[in-house]
Amino acid sequence: MKSFEMYHPLVLFYYFMTVIGMAMFFMHPIYLVLTFMEAVLLNFLLLRHGFWKKLMMYIPLFFIMAIINPLISHNGELVILYVNDNAVTMEAICYGMAMALMILAVIIWFNSYNGVMTSDKFLYLFGKLSPVLALTISITMRLVPRFKHQIHIITQAQKTIGMDYTSGSVWERIKCVTRILSILITWALENAIETADSMKARGYGLPERSTFSLFVFEKRDGWLLGVITLLAGISVAGSFLGYTTFYFYPTFSEMEWSLTSVGFYSVYAVLLAIPIVIEIKENIKWRYLRSTI
Amino acid sequence: MQKSDNKRLRLIISTLVIFVIIPIVLYAGVVYLNDRKYYFISVVIVLLACVPLFIKFERRKPQPREILIIAVMAAISVAGRMIFVVVPGFKPVAAITIITGIYLGAEAGFLTGALSAIVSNIFFGQGPWTPFQMFMWGMIGFLAGVLGKTGVMEKKVALILFGVFAGGLFSFGMDVWGVISFSGIFSWEAYVAALGTALPFTIIYAVSNVIFLLLLAKPIGEKLKRIKIKYNILQ
């Protein structure tokens, strides 16, 4: 059961771009931890079993990124030790870790994005903005598997006349591969002209064309769009008021725990939790409905 | 006469956009938003940098034949990237983009490069690196197109040099992204360090570009030339 992805593509795209943009922008530790935790949680809900494998890949990445910064940046006041007369400071280490956390959060958010925004949704949205480009992208996407299939056919045909790219010297193999590619391109270009002519014959470029899509903008999409805009607006306002700024250099700025700042933190947390809440809610509903059968 | 003047004007405008306006925007972003938001700004700016040429293509209302030819070239480079996925760095994308640029013009070269990045990342996974790849590959195709106009790219030496140059350009460009994302700000010290660690990749990019260019430039080039003349497209 995946229910967040059942929302309208516009809502999904808007949500992910807002959240990813904010994740890149807010370097405050609390904001970073929030966005990282909720990115991980959502990704886990969406991927389940595939998630742990991916996580294993991210852990070394985190440490590599965290180590690089103290090696190149020697700012900061809390010096831990000196390496070749260069200070390794607490601030630089923390900044490196914060940076690494931010990058990982963005990568994990994008991971969820890739799962939820399938190519048809992306092209549907993009097609409204730039129809020609969206058409070109969708033709390209269709051609890729077609070419792979055709390469297979050409390779087999070439084998029967002795042009086998799996045997012989390197030079002969290269010659075979080049030949296969050359044949593929001849075929592809000729095919392209035929497709183009048939598109034209069917009236491509005439006015009043319509496109088919399965996506309907429902009431709940409107509601969610409103909620996202409201929460994101509050977070951005908080950013303008300085609640999301945090200085690592020359030394750490103070962490704020006033009522307003906690308010801003929780608004951000709620914004990030939207898909998680939807997923869990629908999951419970599904379990409940199934158990009553 | 009128038509060729128009075309020249268009080329001048797009060259101006890419080599003058974008650096100015970059500079303004760095100076006026000087708040360590390099990561966000760089992604946005690079994405914006691709917009003028996309708008131009959209506005021109291209014929289905032109759309299909560009889609075919992009699809070939994506399929190539998939076939060579096991060898890191050894990809025919840049070479095919360069060939398209040389024989079909700067705009087609840019579109092939940028679309290859978008579409291959639809298969491999989108991320903040997508705009950078779009921009770098697009730029390589565009430059190849500008040079292709002069006819100098028909020579093998020029092809080899440009292949090496494109490999370096791609690596240097992606390292800018790497440095910005690893340390949040751009520092020359870190950039040089990144270039050093990426050196093997830079060499693989350059070598693979040269190999693919030497192998493919003639067969693909002849076919593109023929189709361009026969069907009178992308002139």
What are the pLDDT digits (tens) for B143-169?
Answer: 999 998 887 878 888 888 998 988 888
Lowest mean pLDDT among A132-141, B27-36, B67-76, B200-209: B27-36
In percent, how much of chain B has pLDDT > 90? 20
**pLDDT at residue A182 tops 90:** no
In this structure, the strands spanning A79-83 and A86-89 are antiparallel
B115 chain-A contacts, CB cut-off 8 A: 136-137, 140
Above 50 in pLDDT, residue A1?
A: no
Domains of chain B with CATH codes: 63-231 (1.10.1760.20)
A151 chain-B contacts, CB cut-off 8 A: 79, 83
Alpha helices (H) along A161-215: 170-201
pLDDT at A157 over 60: yes
Q: Is the pLDDT of residue A217 over 70?
A: yes
Answer with the residue of higher pLDDT: B18 or A279.
A279
Q: Are B213 and B156 in contact (CB under 8 A)?
A: no
Where does the pLDDT of residue B55 fall: very low under 50, low under 70, confident under 90, or very high at 90 and above?
A: confident
**Under a CB-based contact definition with an 8 Å cutoff, are residues A12 and A124 in contact?**
no
DSSP B187-229: -HHHHHHHHHHTHHHHHHHHHHHHHHHHHHHHHHHHHHHHHHH
Same domain, A8 and A118: yes
Highest-confidence segment of A47-51, B20-24, B82-86, B96-100: B96-100
Q: Do B79 and A174 touch (CB under 8 A)?
A: no
- Residue B184 pLDDT: 62
Number of domains in chain A: 2
Which of B5-19, B49-63, B158-172 has the least mean pLDDT? B5-19
Confidence band of A246 (pLDDT split at 50, 70, 90)? confident
Hey, which residues 58-77 in chain B have their CB within 8 Å of chain A?
A: 58, 61-65, 67-72, 74-76
Residue of higher predicted confidence among B90 and B159: B159
A208 inside domain = no
Q: Is B193 at the interface with chain A, CB within 8 A?
A: yes
- Asked if residue A231 and residue A104 are part of one domain, the reply reads yes
**CA dihedral sign of residues B154, B159, B165, B171:** positive
State whether A84 and A173 are in the same domain: no
Same domain, A105 and A169: no
Interface of B with A in 200-229 (CB under 8 A): 215-216, 219-220, 223-224, 227
CA–CA separation, A173 vs A111, rounded Å? 38
Would A129 be classed as within a structural domain? Answer: no
- In this structure, of A78-82, B91-95, B96-100, the range with the lowest mean pLDDT score is A78-82
Whether A204 is in a domain gets the answer: no
CB contact under 8 A, B62 and A132: yes
For residue A63 the two structure tokens come to 């440490």
Whether A205 maps to a domain, the answer reads no
Residues A52 and A118 both lie in one domain: yes
Contact between B64 and A24 using a beta-carbon 8 Å cutoff = no
Residues A115, A160 within the same domain: no
> Same domain for A177 and A252?
no
- Quote the tokens at residue B227: 């189709």
N- to C-terminal Cα separation, chain A? 17
Check whether B34 has a pLDDT greater than 60: no
Report pLDDT digits (tens) over B186-233: 677 777 877 877 788 888 889 989 988 988 888 899 999 998 888 888
Q: Is the pLDDT of residue A79 over 80?
A: no
Instruction: Output the pLDDT for position B32.
Output: 56
A20 shares its domain with A112: yes
- Coil, strand or helix at B43: helix
Same domain? For A163 and A191 the reply is: yes
* Nearest partner of A1 among A291, A284, A293, judged by Cα: A284
Q: Tokens for B19, please give them.
A: 């080599």
Angstrom distance (rounded) from CA A46 to CA A18? 19
| Coil/strand/helix, residue B162 | helix
Instruction: Write the DSSP assignment of A44-68 as a string of letters.
Output: HHHHTHHHHHHHHHHHHHHHHHHHH
Contact indicator for A131, A137 with CB cutoff of 8 Å = no
Same domain, A57 and A146: no
Q: Are residues A288 and A194 in the same domain?
A: no
Per the domain annotation, does A211 fall within a domain?
no
Give the whole-angstrom CA distance, residue B195 versus residue B62. 40
> Are the CB atoms for B25 and B48 separated by under 8 Å?
yes
Q: Which residues contact A286 (CB under 8 A, 6 or more apart)?
A: A1
User: Looking at residue A93, what is its pLDDT?
Assistant: 84
**A168 is in which domain, residue-wise?**
142-198
Residues A154 and A50 in one domain: no
